[in-house]
């Protein structure tokens, strides 16, 4: 028997083959449809289970990004750029010197601690919090025109070509600084205790003096931060102490202190906070600073949240130098994975 299609006769053998092929296709489509429906049902059940166990988006700090901490100076605005990453700050909680404010108060040169997520491109991210605190707020007691340095609260401040000046002086830059000027300093701590200033701005006599740095020469009621003596006796009599594990700070801990200077140049503290530690968990981290101490395979850097130990291994990629250049005083920018207060470096860039 022959079949006719569009007025043309189809041979019997061909017609039989067509019927067989059509039946096979219908059966296959039915099987595929059943499998697709079964797979869809399984996916629907999984999405409705409500369990987050093993959910990579939760563990990594958010959908579309990886949880990160970035510590360093702000290099540009329009959002904020820190360590080469542009962080959107639209929904970030911003803290300046302990007070909540808005992202509009962030300025180029401020050394900040950013927490949030970094996108897959590695160049953009979203900040959930941005924290800033002045390294120093106090009067200039000495100026060295030859070295471009000056002294505030017993701390030596170095300026360089990249230092941002916002002092309100009619004379721009370092030349506009004068003895007894009240200024605020943000910067990175060197191995010798000095500060490489990234931003210098105008202070106010109406605000309390402020300093942050590592404790040394601790006695019963005093300690030193480099050449400044701090008396914290009054804090135990009603002042503010924060994040303390005991009744006094310990040598080597990084502290933030506020108070007033007495006639002998001693800072009488009415506020004392132990800085850090970083929040728990394993996250990516980008860190800029100067090496404080170094041993083969590791070194330390002072951050606004305290000391950070950095580990370098055979897998660490170096630019601008080698592992032999990891010595006290060397400037570094580190990218890696931070866990339990230790940063394992994937990349280390040696900087000037």
Q: Are 49 and 264 in contact (CB under 8 A)?
A: no
- What digits encode the pLDDT tens for the residues 221-232? 899 999 999 999
pLDDT value at residue 248: 74
Contacts of 142 (CB under 8 A, 6+ apart): 150, 151, 179
pLDDT value at residue 236: 58
Helix (H, G, I), strand (E, B) or coil at 78: coil
Architecture of domain 283-351: Beta Barrel (2.40)
Contacts of 151 (CB under 8 A, 6+ apart): 140, 141, 142, 143, 157
- What digits encode the pLDDT tens for the residues 154-206? 999 999 999 999 988 878 899 999 999 999 999 999 999 999 999 999 998 87
Rounded to an integer, what is the distance from CA 279 to the centroid of its chain? 12
Structure tokens at 8: 């043309």
Quick count: other Cβ atoms within 10 Å of Cβ 296? 9
pLDDT value at residue 246: 57
Does the domain formed by 64-132 have CATH 2.20.100? no
Q: What is the pLDDT along the chain (352 residues), one digit of tens a residue?
A: 444 444 444 444 444 443 443 443 334 434 434 333 333 333 333 333 333 333 332 223 333 456 899 999 999 998 999 999 999 999 999 999 989 999 999 999 999 999 999 999 999 999 999 999 999 999 999 999 999 999 999 999 999 999 999 988 878 899 999 999 999 999 999 999 999 999 999 998 878 899 999 999 999 889 999 999 999 987 754 455 555 555 678 899 999 999 999 999 999 999 998 887 676 677 899 999 999 999 999 999 999 888 999 999 999 999 999 999 999 999 999 999 998 889 999 999 999 7
Instruction: Round to whole Å and give the CA distance between 34 and 132.
Output: 59
pLDDT value at residue 274: 86
Instruction: Round to whole Å and give the CA distance between 317 and 323.
Output: 10
Q: What is the DSSP string of 264-283?
A: TS-EEEEEEEE---PPSS-E
CA dihedral in degrees (297, 303, 307, 309; nearest 10)?
-20
Q: Residue 262 to residues 153, 231, 265, 305: CA-CA distances in angstroms? A: 12, 10, 5, 28
Q: What is the CATH number of domain 150-274?
A: 2.40.50.140
């Amino acid at each position: 028997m022959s079949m006719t299609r569009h007025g043309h006769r189809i041979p019997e053998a061909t017609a039989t083959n067509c019927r067989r092929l059509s039946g096979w296709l219908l059966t296959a489509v039915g099987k595929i449809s059943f499998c697709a429906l079964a797979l869809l049902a399984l996916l629907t059940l999984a999405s409705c289970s409500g369990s987050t166990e093993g959910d990579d988006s939760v563990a990594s700090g958010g959908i579309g990004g990886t949880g990160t901490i970035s510590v360093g100076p702000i290099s540009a605005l329009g959002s904020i750029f820190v360590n080469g990453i542009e962080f959107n700050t639209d929904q970030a909680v911003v803290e300046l010197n302990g007070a909540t404010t808005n992202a509009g108060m962030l300025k180029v040169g401020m050394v900040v601690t950013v927490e949030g997520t970094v996108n897959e491109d590695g160049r953009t991210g979203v900040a959930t919090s941005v924290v800033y605190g002045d390294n120093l707020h106090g009067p200039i007691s000495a100026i060295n025109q030859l070295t471009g340095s000056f002294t505030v609260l017993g701390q030596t401040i170095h300026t360089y070509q990249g230092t941002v000046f916002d002092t309100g002086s009619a004379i721009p830059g370092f030349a506009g600084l004068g003895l007894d000027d009240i200024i605020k300093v943000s910067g990175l701590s060197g191995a010798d205790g000095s500060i490489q200033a990234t931003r210098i701005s105008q202070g106010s006599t109406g605000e309390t003096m402020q300093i942050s740095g590592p404790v040394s020469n601790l006695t019963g009621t005093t300690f030193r931060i480099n050449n400044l003596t701090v008396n914290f006796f009054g804090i135990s009599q009603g002042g503010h102490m924060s994040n303390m594990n005991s009744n006094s700070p310990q040598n080597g801990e990084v502290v933030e202190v506020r108070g007033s200077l007495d006639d002998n140049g001693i800072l009488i503290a009415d506020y004392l906070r132990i800085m850090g530690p970083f929040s728990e968990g394993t996250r990516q981290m980008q860190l800029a600073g100067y090496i404080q101490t170094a041993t083969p395979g590791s070194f330390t850097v002072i951050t606004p949240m305290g000391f950070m130990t950095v580990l370098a291994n055979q897998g660490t990629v170096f630019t601008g130098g080698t592992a032999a250049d990891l010595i006290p005083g060397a400037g570094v920018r580190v990218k890696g994975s931070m866990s339990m207060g230790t940063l394992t470096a994937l990349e280390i860039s040696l900087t000037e």
